[in-house]
């Protein structure tokens, strides 16, 4: 199974992201636009791993209080264009606890520095237009273990586990 840990986005946040994508498209940007149902904030990417129960056991040790996240700005990593997030100490802290729990349980994960972003377009072509992403925020009440499968029309993400704020 290809696994990752993520925050599922609210409808209001997805609306703001779709509006930004629509504006980019209107300005001639092309590429593989992330579909609404696949928009999420990745906290830790595990990759191929056979035992989701072991991952959930590790995550069961991670506790967190509800906190908010808020969209802020846009940017790119080469041809991957993204929407950013406001700095959030609670988000950074929960990511640190998740990654520590994975490491303590010998579950491999991508150790790149956490840079909170939501992918809008892969293989983007054109020039990034000077648009502003609509401000949108949401409370984070749960964190999901997600499975990624290749479908006929792209990736299909399915929640296979959840931890909730206390």
Count the domains in the chain: 1
**pTM score of the predicted model:** 0.94
The enclosing domain of 115 has a CATH number of 3.90.1140.10
Q: pLDDT digits over 117-160, tens only?
A: 999 999 999 888 788 899 999 999 999 999 999 988 889 999 99
Q: pLDDT digits over 47-97, tens only?
A: 999 999 999 999 999 999 999 999 999 999 999 999 999 999 999 999 999
Task: Mark residue 123 as left, alpha or beta (left: phi above 0; alpha: psi -120 to 50; beta: remaining).
Answer: left
CA distance 135 to 34: 19
CA distance 22 to 103: 39
Four-CA torsion 83, 89, 91, 92, nearest 10 degrees: 90
- Domain limits at 145? 2-164
């Amino acid at each position: 199974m290809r696994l990752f840990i993520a925050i599922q986005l609210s409808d209001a946040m997805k609306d703001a992201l779709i509006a930004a994508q629509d504006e980019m498209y209107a300005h001639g940007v092309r590429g593989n636009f992330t579909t609404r149902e696949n928009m999420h904030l990745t906290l830790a990417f595990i990759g191929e791993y056979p035992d989701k129960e072991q991952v959930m056991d590790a995550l069961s040790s991670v506790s967190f209080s509800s906190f908010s996240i808020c969209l802020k700005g846009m940017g790119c990593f080469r041809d991957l264009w993204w929407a950013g997030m406001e700095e959030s100490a609670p988000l950074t802290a929960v990511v640190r606890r998740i990654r520590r729990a994975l490491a303590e349980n010998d579950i491999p994960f991508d150790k790149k520095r956490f840079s909170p972003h939501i992918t809008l377009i892969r293989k983007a072509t054109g020039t990034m237009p000077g648009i502003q992403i609509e401000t949108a925020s949401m409370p984070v009440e749960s964190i999901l273990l997600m499975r990624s499968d290749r479908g006929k029309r792209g990736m299909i993400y399915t929640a296979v586990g959840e931890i909730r704020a206390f």
